[in-house]
Amino acid sequence: MTQIFNSTGTCIPVTVLRVGPCMITQIKTTNSDRYNAVQIGYSQVASHLLTKAQLGHLNKSGAPNLKYLKEYTIDSPADFKLGQIITVDHLRIGEQVNISGKSIGKGFSGYQKRHHFSRGPMSHGSKNHRQPGSIGAGTSPGRVFPGKKMAGRLGSCKTTIKNLQIVDINTEQHFVLIKGSVPGKSGSILSIQVR
């Protein structure tokens, strides 16, 4: 993340993302796959880093050795063609986008930090400051139901932040400046969907 200043001198916090160029490696239609979608690939790597199945799939479409593949559902597959390159030219300044990624893992976390539970009383006689309280019924059913909100691993799961605004675009270096923060660490792979 960094910050930029607009013409009025207002400081805007932005995240700099490198977007593409991505290549369309597969087009799915309702006739062949029962739904409309495109698969795009990103980040060319050496062939020994991919399996034979991955190489065969990419060779079928004439694509280079792409490490990351992602599928997006679309309305009309006729607007796309196999091998088409998707760059930042398809984005516009001021557009709203949804960005998905794997959030930062924070390790084992307690009840209050993980599920926003309220704390117990902090007075002198209380021994319940950060404990969870009751976790279920007694004899019947005699167990804790699955999915109970308890302490455990926090983060490191797919997260989507919606309605992020594109502030600026650099077409030469494929940079996009997004207002605000996005999920994940520096260098992580993100998925961008235009609203």
Identify which of 111-115, 135-139, 191-195 has the greatest average pLDDT. Answer: 111-115
pLDDT grade for 141, boundaries at 50, 70 and 90: confident
pTM of the model: 0.81
Average pLDDT, the chain: 92
What does the pLDDT read at residue 162? 96
Averaged over 59-72, what is the pLDDT? Answer: 92
Range 2-89+166-186 has CATH code 3.30.160.810: yes
Give domain limits for the chain. Answer: 2-89+166-186
Averaged over 73-82, what is the pLDDT? Answer: 90
In this predicted model, what pLDDT tens digit does every residue of 35-61 receive, in sequence order?
Answer: 999 999 999 999 999 999 999 999 988
Q: What is the DSSP string of the chain?
A: -EEEE-TT--EEEEEEEE---EEEEEEE-HHHHSS-EEEEEEEE--GGGS-HHHHHHHHHTT---EEEEEEEE-S-GGG--TT-EE-GGG--TT-EEEEEEEPPP-EEE-HHHHH-PPP---STT---SS-----S-STTT-SPPTT---SEEES-SEEEEEEEEEEEEETTTTEEEEES--SS-TT---EEEE-
